[in-house]
Structure formats: C-alpha cells, structure tokens
Amino acid sequence: MAAIPHASVLFVCVHNAGRSQMAAAWLQHLSRGNVEVRSAGTLPAECVNPQAVAAMAEVGIDLVGLTPRVLTREMVKSSDYVITMGCGDTCPVFPGKQYRDWALEDPAGQDLHVVRRIRDEVKERVADLVAEIDRNAYAAGVSGHRADDAA
C-alpha cells in the first residue's frame, strides 16, 4: 500500500509541553511516519507534562525523552500546515501556509482523567487533519492511500 502523500505540519502551543506534543505524536502515529511533523512553543517549558506522557503511554505512544522546543520563524516557513493551540498572535504568519487554530483545553495542572479527554480530542482533530492532507494530495493528483486506511 502506498503511503500518505508527504506534507509538513507544525504544531504550536505556548509551552510545547502538552497539546502540541500529543498532536505531533498522534500525527506521527496516524500517518505512519509519512508526514513531516514538528512541534514547538512560544515559551517552551523545561519538560513535557508528565500527565500528557502518562495519557499517551496508555495508548502505546511514548513521549518519554521528548523536550519542548522554542518556535522559530524557520519552522513556520518550512511547514505546509501550522496548527496553533492557544498561542494567539505570537506565531509568525507566512503566505501560502495552511493555518488552523485549535481551541483545546490546556492539560497543564489537570488530573489524568481530564488529560485523557484532551488526548482523545487531539486524536480526533489529528485524524481529520490526516484526511485533509490526503484529500488535498489526492485532488492534486498525488498517489497515496485514503486517510481512513491510516486509522
């Protein structure tokens, strides 16, 4: 089976410690590694949120060892899709990019049951994004499999 057509996606939140890390991990997983994935924060934390690490581990996705990164203009410039999550106007805007702002609850300071709900909502949005990337590539005539095969 052919892979999902290539695209580059950047997930951005303030601390790059929860939402954006979970989204990047879900995209890596659901796209079977065929989409270039980055995540960053406008004010990165020192470490990934332990509750996000625990919630993702429950579904077999390992965030251990990941570290939050600072957002750079180059990251945005080299991405096809930029998904922001609560960072407002601090993300630079470049023409020709696909921008999305996902209103998601911040997992910082939340109990594990709340982080699980956020994790599941992130997964749904990422699955929709994979389908969008696939549709766009399909419409452009790029060969690949249908996004629902990736789930």
Which residues lie closer than 8 Å to 72 by C-beta, 6 or more apart?
A: 40
Q: Give 70's DSSP letter.
A: B
- 47 as an active site residue: the answer is no
Residue 116 has, within 13 A of its CA and on its CB side, a CA count of 6
Q: Which of 91, 104, 122, 126 is catalytic?
A: 91
Q: Which of 25, 30, 52, 87 is catalytic?
A: 87
Q: Could you tell me if 52 and 71 are in contact, meaning their C-beta atoms sit under 8 angstroms apart? A: no
Q: Which of 12, 13, 56, 76 is catalytic?
A: 13
Alpha-carbon distance of 22 to 16, in angstroms, equals: 9
Which residues are identified as catalytic? 13, 87, 91
